[in-house]
Amino acid sequence: MNGFIGMDVGTSGTKAVLFSEKGEILNTAFQAYALEQPQNGWAQQDPSDWKNAALQTLRTLAQNCAGAVIRGIGVSGQMHGLVLLDAHNTPLTDSIIWCDQRTGDEVQEICRVIGRQKYIELTCNAPNTSFTLTKLLWVCRHLPEVYAKIHKVLLPKDYVQFCLTGKFATDVSDASGTGYFSVRERDWCSEILEAFEIPRQWLPQVYESWEPVASISRETAAYTGLPGDTVVCAGAGDQAAAALGNGILQSGEVSISLGTSGVVFSAVDTRPMTRRGEYILSATVCPGNGTSWA
């Protein structure tokens, strides 16, 4: 019997589920970690906590696999977080995560440099404090010594995938919430990168969610006990993955998630627009901070 693992790098912990080919749940594993809030409105996490939790949950499932031969892993996770790696692929700082609200000035900077409506046209999103771009601009302004050492910029789940495979990759759904991705072109937005002098080589290769990225590394196989040819797919942002799992496939179907944030997610045939002319991909309600469109 073949088995497949779905993993979610969440805000409070990482959960991994082992499924059979028929979709039956064979086993689950979970490991919690801390959320740091050094100032009001700030939210940070240590990327090494995600790495350790991912490896430990995979090890638990490999040891309790119910006779299944594990063939593949799909990783989802919290969106928008900023993970900065140096030339040795070591995190430079804690990750500023999705619910952090320190970047109001950077939202205004985007509107000044790009123009709000132009930015919406480029990304199908309005500039927002949750997006990865505003966090990156905040680091540039407030932590120039860190910014000068950046070698790679990743999202949370993509950092975990790098730790598992040694390859830098992201998927289109998670990339759409960075603030520097063209949804229409399904690639990084050159105009935004150039406007803020963000080197394209800092960013990972973009895949469709279902595409295989790489097999796990020898180190991952040795630690977890998984087969060395276990394939890791590009995966998805948590809300996109949850909507698919809930069967939100046809236009007009809607899921509502009330967790750490509140999210209304709908399948559409064409991109809907608000009265203000903003394209909507999903609506995320952050506690105490109104609604963000991502």
Active site residues: 238
Which residues pair with residue 216 across a beta bridge?
Answer: none
C-alpha–C-alpha distance, residues 161 and 172, integer Å: 15
* Per-residue tokens: 236: 């998805």
Cα–Cα distance for residue pair 123/131, rounded to 1 Å: 12
The Cα 177–Cα 204 span in angstroms is 14
H/E element holding 268? none
DSSP for 79-117?
Answer: SS-BEEE-TTS-BSSPEE-TT----HHHHHHHHHHT-HH
Q: What are the CA-CA distances from residue 35 to residues 94, 99, 162, 216, 242 (Å)?
A: 10, 11, 22, 28, 22
* C-beta atoms surrounding 245 within 10 Å: 12
CA 225 to mean position of chain CA atoms: 26
